[in-house]
Amino acid sequence: MKIPTVGIVGEGELAANLQELLVKADFKVIASDLSGDYAKQVVDVDLVIEIAPEDIAVKKKVFKNCDAKCSNEAILATTTANPWVTQLARATKRPEKVIGLNFTKNPFEEKYLVQIVRGLQTSDETIQTAREFLARVGITAVNLGETPGFILDRVIASIVNEAAVMYSSKLATKEDIDNMMKVCVNWPMGPFEFADILGVDKIVEILDSMSQQLGHRYQPCFLLRKMVDAGWLGKKTGRGFYVYS
């Protein structure tokens, strides 16, 4: 199946950037926000990409509405960063056509990486179609199953947590920890720089989810919780591990 028409349901930076990328790659795009009757607008699309707020109830409603209006052939994709694909599939009558397409923007370059997330019932054909679609847009994609944090957040949250343990126990300063990772083994950023960019609150959320689903070893370091209590969430609040002016 080809994908000539794509519906984007939702707002924000990703919705705007995605629309631009799709138009450039010669797709017909129908973009609508969540206020009006978006489901009616996406009746004829081959792929719906949902970019609603990270709230399972809101997303379920979007999936239910689109499922009712879209053609039986259409694929419904969620951009969620949570392992919700299987749950969202259940809100539809086409669970094999529900898939996760999670976009991560590279902090150094203007490009995205997509994590194609397979739900329990997602079909091989749906995955293949999604891969072909992304290849046509020129976005690199990787495949994975559902896990809290997916690949990227899981790895980054784990290193932030360990670095926070090391910093809390006064083994080294945060500046030295960040700098050593960059100058000794060429990491693009140190763990605390990653934390401030992604958001300390988001890191704690991922770690909580990981520790609930994967085990105690992922419990967030106490320092991270206290930083959330203090509102030191990173760049977005002007202070995280570092102060931003």
Query: Per CB under 8 A, does 135 bind other proteins?
Result: no
Shortest Cβ distance from residue 20 to other proteins (Å)? 19
- Give the nearer residue to other proteins in terms of CB position, either 71 or 213: 213
x-or-dash string of contact with other proteins, 204-243, rule CB under 8 A: -----------xxxx-------------------------
How far apart CA 233 and CA 195 sit, in angstroms, is: 8
Amino acid at 146: E
Query: Per CB under 8 A, does 142 bind other proteins?
Result: yes
Query: Per CB under 8 A, does 109 bind other proteins?
Result: yes
Buried/exposed code over 109-138 (b: 16+ C-beta within 10 A; e: otherwise): eeebebbbbbbeebbeebbebbeebbeebe
How far apart CA 191 and CA 181 sit, in angstroms, is: 8
Query: Per CB under 8 A, does 113 bind other proteins?
Result: yes
How far apart CA 172 and CA 154 sit, in angstroms, is: 24
Amino acid at 215: G
Query: Per CB under 8 A, does 163 bind other proteins?
Result: yes
Q: Segment near other proteins (CB under 8 A), from 22-30, 35-43, 60-68, 111-119? A: 111-119
Query: Per CB under 8 A, does 172 bind other proteins?
Result: yes
Phi, psi of 76 (to 5 degrees): -110, 120
Using CB under 8 A, pick the residue from 181, 204, 224, 233 that binds other proteins: 181
Amino acid at 119: G
Tokens of 130: 């999604």
Buried/exposed code over 209-227 (b: 16+ C-beta within 10 A; e: otherwise): bbbeeeeeebebbeebbeb
The DSSP letter of residue 42 is T
- Give the nearer residue to other proteins in terms of CB position, either 12 or 188: 188
Q: Are 78 and 100 in contact (CB under 8 A)?
A: yes
Using CB under 8 A, pick the residue from 21, 145, 208, 225 that binds other proteins: 145
- Give the nearer residue to other proteins in terms of CB position, either 67 or 146: 146
Using CB under 8 A, pick the residue from 184, 229, 243, 245 that binds other proteins: 184
Q: Contact residues for other proteins (CB under 8 A)?
A: 104, 106-109, 111, 113, 115, 140, 142-145, 147, 151-152, 154-156, 158-159, 162-163, 166, 170-173, 176-177, 179-189, 191, 194, 215-218
